Amino acid sequence: MKIINERLNEKFERNSENKLSTLNIGKIVLIQDWLKKYNIKHYKINDNFSIDITGNLYLQYKEIDVLPDYIQFNNVFGFMECNLKTFRGVPYFVDKHFLTMNKEVITTEYLPRILKGDLFINSFKIPDDELFKYRKIFKGKMYIGVEPKTRKWILRK
């Protein structure tokens, strides 16, 4: 019994708050509970624990500005609207538009690599060189920020 116990203990990360998560035991339940909490339906959890969504992913008014470490979307076959200030965990592929209303966004890191619709980011804090890098891989229209007086999106070329 001692040998089994020692081997299990080797798998735990030091100072880990969630020992089961470290072993990937219960990770699917953790993901399912999070999806249920935010009323996200029509999903598939892949073998690598990434999440595919059939339909739109609407997180904009759900008071989520950062996705938990265990949430990684893969494909969204619809649009994604959110209020995220960092894009870690957003899908690799979005079939329609991607929108975030968070004004604190400072980087394009982790934005979807394949985006078939337009991009809307309500932040003026992203450096131009970063926008230009992302522009090279993104083919749709890019709207960065909302004009305060007219409340219309500003098209970035």
State pLDDT tens for residues 53-90.
Answer: 999 999 999 999 999 999 999 999 999 999 999 999 99
Task: Determine the Cα–Cα distance for residues 9 and 12; give it in Å rounded to an integer.
Answer: 5
State pLDDT tens for residues 3-12.
Answer: 555 555 555 5
What percent of the chain has pLDDT above 90? 63
The confidence band for 97, taking pLDDT boundaries of 50, 70 and 90, is very high
Residue 14 or 33, more confident: 33
Residue 95 or 23, more confident: 95
Task: Determine the Cα–Cα distance for residues 143 and 154; give it in Å rounded to an integer.
Answer: 5
pLDDT at 114: 93
Nearest to 61 by CA among 76, 44, 35, 81: 81
Nearest to 102 by CA among 117, 81, 118: 81
